[in-house]
């Protein structure tokens, strides 16, 4: 079984981005700017944001975090987004999810200018990507495709099954697989027989958010399996949506941690670079 090493592929992507950032910083007289809006004290979000800051710094992107208290109002968060929209040194804006429950997530994401949409979640970006025009792509599914390409997994004509249909992972994942000419099935919580669907797959992308949902008996030998899920178990260790025993039958499997997670951050840097390039061309 080949391990789909997200750390390795992410470091390749970061080296590529770093070289291009250095070149364009000289050309345009300033580095790309990525602003992250973090509301509240969610411990996981704090770790993710710190990792994004570190990664931005590593490749020469000017990362800035705008921290607001858990009690921040819709108007206060919106005011920060508006300010960043108007700041010419900010090329990419990301509102860290999840937001505290009292905030309207959709309204805040829609407020980000599509030309600064770091996460590719704005409806304009989603629509453009669906109609095969350029758009920043949602970082996690984009990272999965990048990883599969690195390992030469030919997707053309393959039966790919995506488990999950969220706006952030499942739906864009299915679209990107379709763009690679895979034959795509999307499964979700109402799917009648998940095992039957999975047994037909040649490529599985698991993004159900259910710890160790996919077990060995649900996977045909030789299948390529990408595990997007991240969960902390009772003993403090991390696991994915795919049980470790799947490694006994899969031809390739992404580990948790060290699989899709690092790719998500690498693709955020790639999006920031692309938006920076676009803003200087336009
Ligand atoms: P959501 O909870 O938003 O979506 C989960 C999806 O899985 C839903 O569409 C749901 O169906 C479906 N689902 C739930 N249970 C089952 C089941 N038993 N069988 C089939 N489908 C099921 O999660 P996200 O998409 O945001 O995230 C998925 C996982 O990926 C999480 O573990 C998350 O932590 C992780 N993640 C990891 C990232 C990374 O960088 N590695 C980045 C983003 C997420 P329905 O629509 O019917 O409810």
Q: Which of the residues 91, 117, 119, 274 is marked catalytic?
A: 119
Contact between 236 and 262 (Cβ < 8 Å): no
Nearest protein Cα to ligand 1, atom 18: 189
* Spans of the chain, pLDDT less than 50: none
Q: At what angle do helices 260-281 and 43-59 cross, to 10 degrees?
A: 50
Give the tokens for residue 221.
């030998």
Give the tokens for residue 216.
């060995």
Give the tokens for residue 264.
């998500």
Nearest protein Cα to ligand 1, atom 35: 229
d(CA 56, CA 38): 16
DSSP assignment, residue 96?
P
User: Ligand 1 pocket: which of 42, 52, 141, 166 to mutate (most atoms <8 Å of CB)?
Assistant: 166
Using CA atoms in the order 20, 26, 30, 36, what is the torsion angle rounded to 10 degrees? 10
Q: Which of the residues 14, 62, 91, 96 is marked catalytic?
A: 96
Listed residue (226, 230, 256) closest to 149, CA to CA = 226
pTM metric for this prediction: 0.97
């Amino acid at each position: 079984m080949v391990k789909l090493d997200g750390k390795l592929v992410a470091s390749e992507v970061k080296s590529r981005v770093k070289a291009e950032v250095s070149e364009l910083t000289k050309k345009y007289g300033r580095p790309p700017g990525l602003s992250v809006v973090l509301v509240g004290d969610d411990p996981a979000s704090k770790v993710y944001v710190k990792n994004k800051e570190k990664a931005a710094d590593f490749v020469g992107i000017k990362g800035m975090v705008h921290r607001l208290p858990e009690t921040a109002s819709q108007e206060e968060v919106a005011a920060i987004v508006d300010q960043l929209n108007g700041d010419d040194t900010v090329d990419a804006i990301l509102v860290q999810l999840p937001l505290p429950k009292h905030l309207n997530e959709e309204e805040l994401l829609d407020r980000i200018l599509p030309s600064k949409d770091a996460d590719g979640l704005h409806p304009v970006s989603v629509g453009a990507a669906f109609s095969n025009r350029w758009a920043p792509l949602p970082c996690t599914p984009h990272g999965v495709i990048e990883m599969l390409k690195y390992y030469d997994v030919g997707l053309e004509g393959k039966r790919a099954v995506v488990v999950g249909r969220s706006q952030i992972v499942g739906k864009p994942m299915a679209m990107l697989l379709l763009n690679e000419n895979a034959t795509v099935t999307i499964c979700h919580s109402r799917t009648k027989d998940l095992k039957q669907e999975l047994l037909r797959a040649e490529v599985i992308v698991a993004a159900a958010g259910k710890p160790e949902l996919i077990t060995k008996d649900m996977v045909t030998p030789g299948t390529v399996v990408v595990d997007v899920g991240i969960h902390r178990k009772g003993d403090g260790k991390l696991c994915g949506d795919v049980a470790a025993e799947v490694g006994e039958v899969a031809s390739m499997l992404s580990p948790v941690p060290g699989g899709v997670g690092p790719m998500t951050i690498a693709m955020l840097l790639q999006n920031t670079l692309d938006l920076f390039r676009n803003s200087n061309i336009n």
